[in-house]
């Protein structure tokens, strides 16, 4: 399985999106005032294979899995996948289970006690389990055929020692917008 250590500079035009350390939701709201969050899925289940290690979980442990689309008008820009291990869900992350169609980023970046770990990057292809759900929503964007690869990033957040993992898949329509300047870290 591919690892999450692809350097962001390899992403070309996508680098600015991948390497931006601020709130992605806030960045998207600045370019799309009609941005909305659409919850696609939320359930308790085992995390993906490559998420166990990142979260320090043992095989078989379960977590709250939340998948959403960040949509400008009717066009999906980002597919986001969040994983909250159950101990954190019953602890400091309890309010996140009730977000519905509200953005997770607003809650994370509003709390000064939330710590963010470094971003990790990689290309998403059909071999990764997030590929199929991410491209399933591209039919709405009138794409005849989904791209073979998409860029994604992930970051772990902690609150009171409890981790949360957020993976963001950048969909083709986002490429129509100017990327943040990756040389300026926020």
Q: Across-strand partners of 72?
A: 35, 75
Which positions ≥6 away from 174 have C-beta within 8 Å? 17, 77, 78
Provide the CA 173 distance to its chain's centre, in angstroms: 16
> For 99-125, what is each residue's pLDDT tens digit?
888 888 888 888 899 999 999 989 999
- The DSSP secondary-structure symbol of 167 reads E
For residue 72, what pLDDT band results from cuts at 50, 70 and 90?
very high
18 and 11 in contact (C-beta within 8 Å)? yes
Alpha-carbon gap, residue 177 to 32, rounded angstroms: 10
pLDDT > 90 fraction of the chain, expressed in percent and rounded:
53
Looking at residue 71, its pLDDT comes to 95
pTM for the structure as a whole: 0.89
Q: Where are the domains of the chain?
A: 8-176
- The structural architecture, per CATH, of the domain 8-176 is 3-Layer(aba) Sandwich (3.40)
Pairing of strands 75-85, 63-72: antiparallel
């Amino acid at each position: 399985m591919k690892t999450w250590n692809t350097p962001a500079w390899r992403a070309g035009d996508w680098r600015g999106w991948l390497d931006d350390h601020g709130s992605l939701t806030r960045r998207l709201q600045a370019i799309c005032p009609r941005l909305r969050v659409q919850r696609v899925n939320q359930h308790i289940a085992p995390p993906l294979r490559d998420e166990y290690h990142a979260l320090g979980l043992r095989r078989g442990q379960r977590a709250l899995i939340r998948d959403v689309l960040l949509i400008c008008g009717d066009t999906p820009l980002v597919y986001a996948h969040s994983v909250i291990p159950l101990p954190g869900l019953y602890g400091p992350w309890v309010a996140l289970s009730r977000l519905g169609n509200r953005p997770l980023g607003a809650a994370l970046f509003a709390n000064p006690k939330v710590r963010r770990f470094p971003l990790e990057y990689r290309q998403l292809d059909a071999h990764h389990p997030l590929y199929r759900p991410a491209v399933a929503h591209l039919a709405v964007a009138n794409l005849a055929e989904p791209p073979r690869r998409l860029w994604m990033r992930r970051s772990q957040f902690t609150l009171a020692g409890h981790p949360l993992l957020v993976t963001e898949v950048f969909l083709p329509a986002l490429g129509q917008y100017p990327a943040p300047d990756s040389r300026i870290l926020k």
